[in-house]
């Protein structure tokens, strides 16, 4: 199975690294790495929209992380890859001031095949920003945290 390379999405003071899911052969090492970094789990069903609680938790995490470490990189991944992870990244972009249709196009440019499910697209099209994420400009750091 072809696994796309990790992609970086950068907008203003936010940097996200979207990664693919691990293989059976790499799963144990992948889980060890996640535990080592204190990764948080934000599950929601594939092909569905995230719950309000999931969105609130995600945006709170993004808000705190990029305020504490401007320009840092946060890794995001899901089991299948093309749907849930890009939805969360697009939500952060929208909250950062990007129009929803621009956020969808921006993510699609970075990851071919992302946000093609009609449910994901409709969810983002209807989503309205409630807590714009605005951060001080800073130079990007080379560190990356896995969330």
Catalytic site positions: 46, 78
E strand map for the chain? 7-11, 14-18, 73-76, 144-146
In whole angstroms, give the CA distance from residue 48 to residue 9: 22
Burial class (CB in 10 A: 0-12, 13-18, 19+), 78: buried
For residues 85 and 122, the answer to whether their CB atoms sit within 8 Å is no
In whole angstroms, give the CA distance from residue 130 to residue 66: 17
Q: How far is it between the farthest Cα atoms of the chain? A: 41
**Cα radius of gyration (the chain):** 15
């Amino acid at each position: 199975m072809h696994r796309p390379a990790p992609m970086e999405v950068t907008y203003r003071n936010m940097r996200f690294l979207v990664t693919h899911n691990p293989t059976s052969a790499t799963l144990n090492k992948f889980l060890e790495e996640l535990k080592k970094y204190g990764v948080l789990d934000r599950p929601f069903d594939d092909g569905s929209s995230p719950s309000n609680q999931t969105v609130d938790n995600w945006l709170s995490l993004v808000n705190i992380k990029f305020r504490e470490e401007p320009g840092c990189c946060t890794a995001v991944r899901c089991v299948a890859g093309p749907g849930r992870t890009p939805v969360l990244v697009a939500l952060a972009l929208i909250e950062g001031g990007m129009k929803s249709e621009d956020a969808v196009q921006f993510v699609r440019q970075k990851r071919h095949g992302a946000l093609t499910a009609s449910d994901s697209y409709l969810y983002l099209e209807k989503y309205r920003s409630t807590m714009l994420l605005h951060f001080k400009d800073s130079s990007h750091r080379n560190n990356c945290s896995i969330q």
